[in-house]
Amino acid sequence: MNPYSADSVLPHYLQSMHWANKDNFLLSVDIYSNWILFAVEEGSFEFEIGEEKGTGRAGDLVLSPPYIPFRRKIVHNLTFFSINFQWKSMAEQKTVTDPRLLSHIPIGKISLQNNERLSSNYDYLRKLQNKHDATSIHRKNHLLNDIWLLYCLEANILKQPKWSPDPLMSIAMRLINENCFEYSFSMKNLSDDLGLTPVQFTRKFKTAWGMTPSEFAMELKMDRAKRLLAESTLSLQKIAYLCGFENGNYLSRIFSKKLNIQTTDYRRLHHR
């Protein structure tokens, strides 16, 4: 039997915990008997799952399969959901545990672009966190499914846009989406990895997507900055770090230039 594609299975909710402003993990490494999802709302942590390494930040999802050591270390105080789940096939509606059949499921960090939809799901999950009746569990499962389907939708759009751009530029867009919030991220390094000069990369990307790679990365960063200003009490310095900027002053200047509003005014108008 062939492995299931990511969009042919759904996560089946088992249990979850919500942690607020956590400064360290009780265990630096853990092994779970089911799949687990760390859904980060605020803060950041470093992780290592098999060969996958990275940093999970606000808006990121980190998936770990069962029976594989999940190493992790908090970098900045972490607010997140840990959700235990199993996979179910959409067609047969049966639980899938064979890792060979789940080899197309991503392990490690994935990032979503629709932060408003993700934030809305988190809001509802928080409200349901301490409710364990059958109806509440069904609703939690629905919210988890929505998060996964949103990922599948965005991944499919990136892989198969209607105008069929250069496949290399689809890879480039995905890599920017996943990594642009890292302060060490460099367009020059990305163009080198893709086997292109910076000029070739910029030209090909703009032909495929109608904007330069730097413009695309900046849109993602501004979207994350707006969400964190509106939905958190983090300092501007911390928000700058989570968005891949050098410091709060630089973020403030860029934010004002791009959106024609000061960060302080935006937070005052939109903070929930």
* Torsion angle (degrees, nearest 10) of CA 19, 84, 75, 53: -170
- What's the confidence (pLDDT) of residue 159? 53
Helix/strand/coil (H/E/C) assignment for every residue in 131-159: CCCHHHHHHHHHHHHHHHHHHHHHHHHHH
Q: Is 71 helix (H, G, I), strand (E, B) or coil?
A: strand
Which domains, from first to last, does the chain contain?
Answer: 6-159 (2.60.120.280), 167-270 (1.10.10.60)
Chain segment 135-172, per-residue pLDDT in tens? 999 999 999 999 999 898 888 755 544 444 578 988 89
Looking at residue 155, its pLDDT comes to 80
Residue (of 69, 153, 152, 63) closest to 108 by Cα position: 63
Q: Confidence band (pLDDT; 50, 70, 90) for 259? A: confident
Q: Is the pLDDT of residue 57 over 90?
A: yes
**Dihedral sign, CA of 19, 21, 26, 29?**
positive
Is pLDDT of 272 > 80?
A: no
pLDDT at 26 over 90: no
The total of other beta-carbon atoms located within 10 Å of residue 61's CB is 22
Amino acid at 272: R
pLDDT grade for 54, boundaries at 50, 70 and 90: very high
Mean predicted confidence (pLDDT) in 73-91: 94
pLDDT at residue 98 is higher than 80 = yes
pLDDT of residue 264: 92
pLDDT at position 161: 46
pLDDT grade for 22, boundaries at 50, 70 and 90: very high
Q: What digits encode the pLDDT tens for the residues 111-126?
A: 888 888 899 999 999 9
| Across 207-228, average pLDDT | 88
Q: Average pLDDT in the 183-202 region? A: 93
Separation CA 262–CA 255 (nearest Å): 7
Helix axes 248-259, 263-270, angle to 10 degrees: 70
Mean pLDDT (whole number) for 22-32 = 92
Mean pLDDT of 70-98: 93
How many percent of the chain have pLDDT more than 90?
A: 60
- Check pLDDT > 60 for residue 33: yes
Phi-psi category of residue 41: left, alpha or beta, with phi > 0 → left and psi -120 to 50 → alpha: alpha
> Can you tell me the mean pLDDT for 212-236?
89
Mean pLDDT of 26-51: 93
Grade residue 189 by pLDDT with cuts at 50, 70 and 90.
very high
More confident residue, 9 or 259: 9
